[in-house]
């Protein structure tokens, strides 16, 4: 446990600590690698890559985010203040953790799923501290934009100051993609907006099948083990295209998430054969979430689907990630493609020192758990290309 981290106590897993103490006495601090988890995961999701990184000479730290696991904030309710869970608040937590550990910079910050945008914003806002970044499963396409050149006249009539085209009349609001999804022959809804609703926490915390079996089906359905995962780029952010996503992303309108994944619950034989997440390891997740519920993690979906929270991020409009960056995902992960254009935007615009996209065979969404050897190798190759940061 690390106290005094932006007003909370943070639970961390670490590897290389004993070697770090020995190195401190001889050559100074080991380079630090920070690993940020996603939803519904914990620091535990990094268990299989931490030792290979430590054995290669790094001090490796994986925290539970605020509101997750054994870090403070898990008592949050739907009616609580959302401010402590914004992206920039998570960046402050992460920066404060680095300082609390006695470091002024880290070799890299790697984030998976929800940890990916947190890691991206760490690198964008504090490149002096987060010297490189690895984004996993969720591409980052840059800060929200601000309108540009709106004060410039667009025609001679506009320059005169009275043309009615400068003052368009209000029109009826356009149908949203949510309206369009709901109007499909088989009505659907996007999981981000479902997770932002009041019932979501109770739906998945106390489902009919129990939280352990809910998580088993959820992890299975988003992994390479599920035969339905054959991802490909979507042509556009339109209802017919988005509806190609599996039910764990674009749900039936009348179902909750626990109901959506229940039909794909793996058999006892499939569970016994699941080497990447045996039942005793899944029990770590189900025990923690059974104790805390999911609202601490769901707060971020509420923030991400409320346009008012994008306003503070517009302060960084036009900024890019200017430290070395790379992306790791699974070849059978729909998360790589669920937002059309983001993968390309990340490579060609959002990151100015982009080092490559690595899609790992035999992995779905949980890439560092499903294929830890490949992920460890890719992380070490990336780290070895970077100059070691000063402590």
Measuring CA to CA, which residue among 381, 325, 378 is closest to residue 348? 325
CATH number for the domain formed by residue range(s) 2-143+306-384: 3.40.50.1820
Tokens in use for 186? 């088989």
- What is the DSSP-derived secondary structure letter of residue 31? P
Measuring CA to CA, which residue among 94, 77, 280, 87 is closest to residue 198? 77
- Give the strand pairing for 12-15 and 59-63: antiparallel
| pLDDT, tens digit, 9 for 90 and up, residues 70-89 | 999 888 999 999 999 999 99
| pLDDT, tens digit, 9 for 90 and up, residues 263-272 | 999 999 999 9
Tokens in use for 162? 């009275």
Q: In whole numbers, what is the pLDDT of the chain averaged over residues?
A: 91
Q: What pTM was computed for the model?
A: 0.92
pLDDT band at residue 34 under the 50/70/90 scheme: very high
Residue pair 369/113 in contact (Cβ under 8 Å)? The answer is no
For residues 91 and 102, give the distance between their C-alpha atoms in angstroms, rounded to a whole number.
Answer: 17
Taking CA atoms, 12 is separated from 64, 280, 325, in Å, by 6, 20, 24
Intervals of CATH 3.40.50.1820 along the chain: 2-143+306-384
Half-sphere exposure at residue 26, Cβ-oriented, CA atoms within 13 angstroms? 7
pLDDT at 157: 44
Residue pair 271/216 in contact (Cβ under 8 Å)? The answer is yes
| pLDDT, tens digit, 9 for 90 and up, residues 290-344 | 999 999 999 999 999 999 999 999 999 999 999 999 999 999 999 999 999 999 9
Residue 25 has pLDDT above 80, yes or no: no
Strands (DSSP E) found in the chain: 2-5, 8-10, 12-15, 32-36, 59-63, 108-112, 133-136, 188-190, 250-252, 325-330, 354-360
């Amino acid at each position: 446990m690390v106290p005094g981290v932006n007003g909370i106590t943070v639970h961390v897993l670490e590897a290389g600590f004993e070697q770090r103490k020995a190195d401190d006495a001889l050559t100074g601090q080991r380079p630090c690698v920070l690993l940020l988890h996603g939803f519904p995961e914990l620091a535990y999701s990094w268990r299989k890559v931490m030792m290979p990184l430590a054995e290669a000479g790094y001090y490796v730290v994986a925290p539970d985010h605020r509101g997750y696991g054994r870090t403070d904030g898990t008592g949050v309710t739907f009616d609580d203040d959302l401010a402590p869970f914004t992206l920039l608040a998570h960046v402050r937590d992460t920066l404060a953790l680095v300082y609390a550990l006695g470091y002024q910079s880290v070799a890299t910050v790697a984030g998976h799923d929800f940890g990916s945008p947190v890691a991206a914003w760490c690198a964008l806002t504090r490149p002096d501290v987060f010297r490189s970044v690895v984004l996993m499963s969720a591409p980052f396409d840059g800060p929200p934009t601000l309108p540009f050149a709106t004060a410039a006249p667009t025609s001679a009539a506009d320059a005169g100051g009275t043309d009615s085209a400068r003052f368009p009349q209000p029109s009826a609001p356009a149908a949203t993609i949510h309206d369009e999804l709901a109007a499909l022959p088989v009505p659907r809804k996007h999981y981000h907006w479902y997770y932002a609703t009041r019932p979501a926490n109770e739906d998945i915390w106390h489902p009919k099948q129990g939280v352990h079996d809910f998580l088993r089906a959820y992890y299975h359905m988003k992994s390479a083990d599920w035969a339905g995962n054959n991802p490909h780029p979507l042509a556009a952010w339109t209802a017919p295209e988005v509806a190609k996503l599996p039910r764990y992303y674009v749900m039936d309108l009348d179902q909750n998430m626990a109901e959506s994944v229940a039909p794909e619950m793996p058999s006892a034989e499939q569970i016994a054969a699941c080497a990447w997440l045996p039942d005793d390891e899944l029990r770590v997740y189900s025990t923690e979430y059974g104790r805390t519920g999911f609202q601490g993690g769901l707060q971020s979906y509420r923030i991400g689907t409320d346009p008012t929270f994008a306003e503070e991020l517009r302060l960084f409009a036009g900024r890019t990630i200017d430290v070395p960056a790379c992306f790791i995902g699974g070849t059978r992960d729909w998360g790589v493609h669920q937002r059309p254009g983001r993968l390309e935007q990340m490579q060609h615009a959002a990151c100015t020192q982009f080092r490559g996209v690595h899609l790992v065979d035999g992995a779905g969404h949980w890439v560092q758990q499903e294929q830890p050897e490949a992920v460890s190798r890719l992380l070490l190759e990336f780290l070895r290309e970077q100059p070691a940061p000063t402590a």
